[in-house]
């Protein structure tokens, strides 16, 4: 095994500036991941040509693939840097920031839009009062399992990065928020806001704008049941819209 | 009533792809296939079509559906950004082909309808055979049939997903293969028509 690893990084000083490529050779360590390779650059910010440069900026938090903060494009695929093991990657390792979110600096992007989308569909359960109302309704095991799988979304944005219908020309909000709408319409206490959630997800940018490319299903690192979530939301939004139209005064 | 009508437009777009456009294509192939029975049978079938009551209503409906499906379809084409280079999965390629064929159909149908429907050409076997038998025409027709048949066949399986009918992997895969079957059947029927005219 070579004792240095070549990294090729697409850098960008700030949201407005032009991106450029810079290469680095970092000392190899056994079992290192992309984050630890980036830490080596931080330790010694000298590029492959031997020139001193600014340390590469990236984002991370949990280091165990549950927060989604370190998501970037690694060898052309969107994934988490913390779980990308250097030994398993083709060299040189090419790192790029996600393209569907504004770049803050280098590999760090601003995924705020995902949280704005979650707010639109009220992806939370409202408190049902400030007194003890007894235990909540029981959830059948089958439903619980599906809900749990949906709840594992870490808003990493891989699905949006891979979705051909999410881009700056379209209004589509993407698969993650569809899955979360499914999750919160499944919840027995979340039922109270079901209509509002369905209104939001059948409105502009909603599930109807999915083009069935199904890349999201392939790339989600948490293996969310996106196929079922999208399929069921297609069904639910249709019956919701039809009922609403038939009942409207 | 129609505050944000993007949902209705999407659903209408999806629906018009099958009813009436998909049905029309099937009818079109069916009537043309009367050529297999001979020239008189073909001309008889065409004459029958021309005698259908309220034909103009049907034609108007199909034309309106087409204008809407094509217009809104183009908007959908331009708001997508294919990425098969990075994510080369089957459905992603189908997504891209659905859009490429959409544009091909648009160009093809304008030529096709203009030359055959809005010209003084009499719809008889002899006249059609003469108009369609050049190598150039055969190539254009073959491309048109290929694009239309792909677009319709793949559209059937995405239609089923878009309306929440096929939800699980097994059903989606089943209708994926069913679409492939429809694709080949319609392709053979279409090519056969071109061959019979040539
Ligand atoms: C100018 C011509 C056309 C354009 C621009 C066009 C465009 C499109 C586009 C972009 C889609 C994908 C929609 C989505 O997945 O969200 C689509 C779907 C579809 N199109 Fe077309 N189309 C055209 C003509 C036709 C014709 C002639 C037919 C019938 C043979 C047809 C049948 C369908 C069907 C069945 C779907 C599937 C609907 C769904 O996924 O729900 N299209 N079309
Ligand atoms: S299935 Fe829909 S949401 Fe998923 S990648 Fe395709 S277009 Fe995007
Ligand atoms: S659905 Fe999957 S890919 Fe999309 S944000 Fe959630 S965890 Fe990431
Ligand atoms: S740091 Fe949390 S997912 Fe990588």
Rg (CA), chain A: 21
Question: Across the interface, which of A165, A228, A230 has its CB nearest the CB of B80?
Answer: A165
SS3 at position A24? strand
What is the span of the domain harbouring residue B52? 3-197
Quote the distance between the C-alpha of residue B180 and its chain's center. 15
pLDDT at B142 over 70: yes
User: Ligand 2 center to residue B23 CA distance, Å?
Assistant: 27
**With an 8 Å Cβ cutoff, is B91 touching chain A?**
yes
Superfamily for the A4-109 domain: Beta-grasp domain (3.10.20.30)
Mean pLDDT value across chain B: 94
Mean pLDDT in consecutive groups of 10 residues from the start of chain A, 249 residues: 87 95 96 97 96 97 97 97 97 97 98 97 87 86 97 98 97 98 91 91 96 97 98 97 93
Nearest Cα of chain B lies from the Cα of A248 at a distance, in angstroms, of: 9
- pLDDT attached to residue B193: 95
- pLDDT attached to residue A14: 94
Range scoring the smallest mean pLDDT among A18-22, A118-122, B5-9, B175-179: B5-9
pLDDT at B1 over 50: no
Nearest Cα of chain B lies from the Cα of A231 at a distance, in angstroms, of: 5
- pLDDT attached to residue A36: 97
Give the residue with greater pLDDT, A3 vs B76: B76
Which DSSP state fits A46?
A: B
pLDDT at B158 over 60: yes
- pLDDT attached to residue B47: 93
Best of A161, A215, A223, A238 to disrupt the B interface (most B CBs within 10 Å) is A215
Q: Does domain A112-248 have CATH number 1.10.1060.10?
A: yes
**With an 8 Å Cβ cutoff, is B79 touching chain A?**
yes
Q: DSSP labels for A67-104?
A: S-TTEEEETTEEEESTT-BGGGS-SSEEEE--SSS-EE
- Please report, for the domain that includes residue B184, its CATH number: 1.20.1300.10
Cβ distance of B95 and A231 shorter than 8 Å: no
Give ranges for CATH 1.10.1060.10 in chain A. 112-248
Distance CA A244, CA B12 (A): 17
Range scoring the smallest mean pLDDT among A131-140, B41-50, B144-153: A131-140
Per-residue tokens: B171: 């059903």
- pLDDT attached to residue B2: 45
From A63, A73, A157, mutation site for ligand 4 pocket: most ligand atoms within 8 A of C-beta = A63
- pLDDT attached to residue B114: 87
Count the domains in chain B. Answer: 1
Give ranges for CATH 3.10.20.30 in chain A. 4-109
Grade residue B3 by pLDDT with cuts at 50, 70 and 90.
low
């Amino acid at each position: 095994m070579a004792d240095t690893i070549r990294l090729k990084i697409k850098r960008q000083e700030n949201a407005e500036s032009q991106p450029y490529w810079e290469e680095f050779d970092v000392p190899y360590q056994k079992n290192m991941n992309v984050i630890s390779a980036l830490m080596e650059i931080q330790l010694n910010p000298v590029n492959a040509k031997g020139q001193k440069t600014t340390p590469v900026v990236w984002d991370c938090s949990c280091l165990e693939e549950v927060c989604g903060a370190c998501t970037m494009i690694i060898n052309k695929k969107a994934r988490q840097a913390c779980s990308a093991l250097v030994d398993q990657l083709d060299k040189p390792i090419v790192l790029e920031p996600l393209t569907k979110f504004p770049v803050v600096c280098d590999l760090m992007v601003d995924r705020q839009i995902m949280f704005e989308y979650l707010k639109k569909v009220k992806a939370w359960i409202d408190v049902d009062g400030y007194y003890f109302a007894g235990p909540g309704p029981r959830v059948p095991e089958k439903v619980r399992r599906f809900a749990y799988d949906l709840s594992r979304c870490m808003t990493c944005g891989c699905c949006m990065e891979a979705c051909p219908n999410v881009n700056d020309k379209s209004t589509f909000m993407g698969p993650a928020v569809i899955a979360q709408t499914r999750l919160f319409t499944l919840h027995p206490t979340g039922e109270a806001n079901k209509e509002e959630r369905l209104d939001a997800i059948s409105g502009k940018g909603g599930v109807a704008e999915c083009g069935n490319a199904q890349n999201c299903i392939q790339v989600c690192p948490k293996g969310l049941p996106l196929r079922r979530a999208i399929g069921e939301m297609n069904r639910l939004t249709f019956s919701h819209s039809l009922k609403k139209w038939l009942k409207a005064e | 009533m129609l505050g944000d009508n993007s949902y209705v437009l999407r659903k209408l777009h999806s629906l018009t792809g099958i009813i009436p456009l998909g049905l029309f294509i099937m009818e079109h192939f069916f009537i043309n296939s009367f050529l297999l029975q001979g020239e008189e049978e073909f001309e008889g079938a065409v004459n029958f079509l021309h005698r259908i009551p309220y034909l103009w209503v049907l034609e108007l409906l199909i034309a309106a559906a087409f204008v809407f499906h094509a217009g809104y379809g183009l908007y959908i084409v331009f708001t997508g950004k294919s990425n098969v280079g990075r994510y080369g999965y089957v459905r992603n390629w189908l997504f891209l082909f659905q859009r490429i064929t959409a544009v091909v159909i648009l160009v093809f149908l304008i030529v096709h309808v203009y030359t055959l429907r809005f010209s003084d050409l009499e719809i008889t076997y002899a006249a059609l055979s003469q108009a369609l038998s050049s190598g150039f025409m055969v190539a254009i027709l073959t491309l048109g049939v290929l694009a239309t048949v792909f677009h319709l066949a793949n559209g059937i399986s995405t239609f089923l997903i878009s309306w929440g009918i096929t939800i699980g992997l097994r059903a989606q895969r089943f209708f994926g293969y069913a679409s492939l079957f429809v694709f080949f059947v319609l392709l053979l029927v279409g090519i056969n028509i071109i061959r019979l005219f040539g």
